[in-house]
Amino acid sequence: MTTTFDPIAFKTTTRAQWETAAEAWHRWGPAVENWLGTATEQMLDDVHLSAGSRVLDVAAGAGGQTLAAARRVGDTGHVLATDISPAILRFAADEAAAAGLSNVATLEADGEDLTGVEDGSFDAAISRVGLIYFPDQARALKEICRALRPEGRVSAIVYSTPDRNGFFSIPVGIIRRVAGLPAPGPGLPGPFSLGAPGVAEAAYTAAGLVDVTVSTVPSPVRLANAAECVRFERESFGALHQMLSGIDESARTEAWHEIEEALAQFDGPDGFVGPCEMLVVSGTRR
């Protein structure tokens, strides 16, 4: 059976799922920062942030990387966090306020259509595990480039290949089988859509970016055990919620049970260590 991808429906579902998962993603924030902290620092290094820099954060989520960028640019700098989900942006805004960071603002916006963001108004743009889920990644990159000044820098964190990301690819594979979902074709959104060799570089180059670099960052997911990893993914991974939306609750429960059994292979004397490898893809606007 051939199915036609509907980008509008995909975005509508994505927004709804993140509205639902926002609180959990925020609650798991410390685990997320432990997992993605090293890649985040690499991303912020790559866009050459300094005091006074203006930063656009696309698909910012609950804003862990937003706050990290805000601390780097200081009181004279500015970070605008954008996301398709207003619920998750509220957590980002609240966290910034609680941290005393007055240089953070939020804007509900589709990363493929950054209406309200002026041309050439930012020195740098970042996106942490967001670009992979845009239906039209080329359009998103062009919008990001439009928002950057000439010689501005962009950097995104994306997953590498499924075989290097067992903590996520194993659940995705099980859910696809249980839900009867085909693997996404080339050019369609998904966790590993920019992970194959050369794919992210080609996307950046097509958007007009130069000096493109890709850094590989081992990012193991360290939790108490496989059961905790399943709780983390079950509660807060919007993409998995979206994939499971077409099956009944009983089938979902069975899928998660199978996932926990499969992830138990990564339990050991030091707890759960789930394989994960991120790519930090960076470039410069001409």
pLDDT digits (tens, 9 = 90+) for 202-247: 999 999 999 999 999 999 999 999 999 999 999 999 889 889 989 9
Please determine, for residue 285, whether its predicted confidence score (pLDDT) is greater than 50: yes
CB 155 within 8 A of CB 281: yes
- Give the E-state strand segments of 31-91 in sequence order: 54-58, 78-83
Q: What is the pLDDT of residue 1?
A: 44
Nearest CA to 207 among 96, 273, 131, 129? 131
Question: Is 159 part of any domain?
Answer: yes
Q: Cβ distance 129 to 159 under 8 Å? A: yes
Q: Quote the CA–CA distance of 4 and 150 in Å, as a whole number.
A: 38
- Whether 125 has a pLDDT exceeding 60, the answer reads yes
Is there a domain that residue 54 lies in? yes
C-alpha to C-alpha distance for 77 and 48, rounded to whole angstroms: 13
DSSP state string for 130-179 = -GGG-S-HHHHHHHHHHHEEEEEEEEEEEE--GGG-HHHHHHHHHHHHHH
Is pLDDT at 95 greater than 80 in this prediction?
yes
Helix (H, G, I), strand (E, B) or coil at 99: coil
pLDDT tens digit sequence for 5-15:
999 999 998 99
Q: How far is CA 55 from CA 66, 105, 124, 220, in A?
A: 9, 11, 5, 27
1 in a domain, yes or no? no
Instruction: Decide if pLDDT at 132 tops 70.
Output: yes
Neighbouring C-alpha atoms within 13 Å toward the C-beta of 183: 8
At CA 31, angle to CA 241 and CA 277, rounded to 5? Answer: 75
Residue 166 in any domain: the answer is yes
> Which of 16-25, 45-54, 258-267 is predicted with the least confidence, judged by mean pLDDT?
16-25
Q: 31 in a domain, yes or no?
A: yes
The pLDDT of 262-283, averaged and rounded, is: 98
The span from the CA of 60 to the CA of 106, in Å, is 9
pLDDT of residue 4: 83
Q: Is residue 185 part of a domain?
A: yes
pLDDT for 185 equals: 85
Range of the domain at 111: 7-285
Copy the structure tokens of residue 155: 């950097």
H or E segment and range at residue 277: strand 277-285
Q: What is the H or E stretch that residue 22 is in?
A: helix 7-27
Q: Is residue 2 part of a domain?
A: no
Q: Tell me what pLDDT residue 178 has.
A: 96
DSSP string, 114-139: -TTPPTT-EEEEEEES-GGG-S-HHH
User: Among 89, 88, 72, which Cα is nearest to 80's?
Assistant: 89
Tell me, what CATH number does 118's domain have? Answer: 3.40.50.150
* Cα Rg, the chain, nearest whole Å: 18
Residue 80 falls within a domain, yes or no?
yes
Closest listed residue to residue 263, CA positions, set 179, 166, 175, 176: 166
Q: Is the pTM of this model over 0.85?
A: yes
Name the strand (E) or helix (H) holding 74: none
Q: Is 19 helix (H, G, I), strand (E, B) or coil?
A: helix
Number of domains forming the structure of the chain: 1
Give me the chain's average pLDDT, please.
96
**Least-confidence region, from 163-172, 178-187, 196-205:** 178-187
pLDDT digits (tens, 9 = 90+) for 30-65: 999 999 999 999 999 999 999 999 999 999 999 999
Please tell me the predicted confidence (pLDDT) of residue 242: 83
The pLDDT, as a whole number, for residue 206 is 98
Q: Which pLDDT score, from 0 to 100, does residue 98 have?
A: 97
